[in-house]
Amino acid sequence: MIDFELTEEQLALQETARKFAEKEMKPVAAKYDEGHEFPWDVMEKAFQAGFLNCTVPTEYGGGGLNALDTSIVSEELVMGCAGMFTTMMVNSLAFTPIILFGTHEQKQKHLTPFAEKPMLAAFALTEREAGSDAGRVQTTAEKVGSEYVINGSKCFISNGGVASLHVIFALTQKEKGTRGMSAFIVPADTPGIQIGKIEEKMGQRASNTAELFFDDVRIPQENLLAKEGLGFIVAMKTLDKARASVGAAGVGVARAAYEYCIEYTKTRKQFGKPISSFQHLAFKMADMATEINAARHLVWHAAWLLDNGKKASKESAMAKAYASDVAMKTTVDAVQILGGYGYMKDYPMEKLMRDAKLLQIYEGTNEIQRLVISHEILS
């Protein structure tokens, strides 16, 4: 049976996230975007509201949200500010390898502290020469006695400069390629970790994106996730899950632009009548509404598969690619609908357009999503 009705709990979650976005994020979004400043005060409130560790299982102090719940919450939060949302979402991205592959002891030790105070986490996979080609990671982790010694660097790491905990992907057997990669839990205060350049981005400027350097970073062998050589699978299974959330973010960004256009076109008058009465604009908004609905259905279907333990690589990739493309198209059209006002910083549209662009790029470019989809449909 197919049921599109949300439960009482999901409706309450949706309402809480919507109010948080309206009250705590939206009013300060332009300030943090312009200042390129990290919104610690908003993150403290997000922690109090339970959004920083909402996907951590309840037995480790988190909110225990499943993928569908997370999609519902993500769609609302991103409407407040995509950059701030990314900071929160990346916590979930970094927790996922520990939730999926960690032992009880690892979860107890590394996830429980996130229930105690506002802290952030990062997922450190990307390197200069390993972006779309994630299997080309060069960072190494050498086993020395009962420790691993990590050397190398990472780039474009969301939360990289503000995280207390990193999940790092490194080669334990160089010659084995993707099968020689392993995943490690690395506290950010471990000696030898240095934060490099903090990137100046076009959009999502309230989020922190940093370079990381590892110089003889020693961690105990207990911090290895899963088994040696399984790091690439850990990364791919994590991304299968995370991409549905990026899809939800695409739906939210598109909705923010679309809802603004509905109000704007009903009040803005030209040629003596509201511009919503011009059919070319009304049809554009009809297309926006249709595409947003289609994107949400893809996201919820991917989330449903994930929640039911089914393989969802293809569906998560479809949801991520389609919804972020819809966000881009909708925000570009919305700028056009507002005309000169759309291009001005006094109106929210240009920020939404800049923010949307990153959704097509991070957590795997949309070209990579199409690669994943095409491999599955043609194999």
Between helices 231-267 and 313-338, what is the axis angle to 10°? 30
Q: Are 71 and 248 in contact (CB under 8 A)?
A: yes
Residue 132 near ligand COS by CB under 6 A: yes
Residue 178 near ligand COS by CB under 6 A: yes
Interacting residue with ligand COS among 134, 141, 251, 298 (CB under 6 A): 134
Minimum CB separation of residue 148 from ligand COS in Å reads 21
Smaller CB separation from ligand COS, 276 or 324? 324
DSSP string of 320-342, one letter each residue: HHHHHHHHHHHHHHHHHHHTHHH
Interacting residue with ligand COS among 50, 160, 203, 364 (CB under 6 A): 364
316 to 355: interface string for ligand COS, x by CB under 6 A: ----------------------------------------
Tell me which residue has its CB nearest to ligand COS.
Answer: 364
Residue 338 CA to chain centroid, in angstroms?
28
Minimum CB separation of residue 327 from ligand COS in Å reads 17
- Spatial CA neighbour of 331 closest among 236, 239, 220, 250: 250
- Measured over the CA atoms of residue 243, residue 248, residue 252 and residue 257, the dihedral's sign is positive
Stretch that binds ligand COS, among 109-117, 191-199, 352-360, 361-369 (CB under 6 A): 361-369
Which residue has tokens 């300060």? Answer: 28
Q: What does residue 57 show for φ and ψ, rounded to 5 degrees?
A: -55, 150
Stretch that binds ligand COS, among 29-37, 53-61, 66-74, 235-243 (CB under 6 A): 235-243
Q: Are 271 and 292 in contact (CB under 8 A)?
A: no
Residues 6+ away with beta carbon under 8 Å from 59: none
Residue 232 near ligand COS by CB under 6 A: yes
Residue 179 near ligand COS by CB under 6 A: yes
Residue 211 near ligand COS by CB under 6 A: no
Q: Are 295 and 322 in contact (CB under 8 A)?
A: yes
DSSP symbol at 163? -
Minimum CB separation of residue 317 from ligand COS in Å reads 9
Q: Which of residues 97-126 bind ligand COS (CB under 6 A)?
A: 123, 125-126
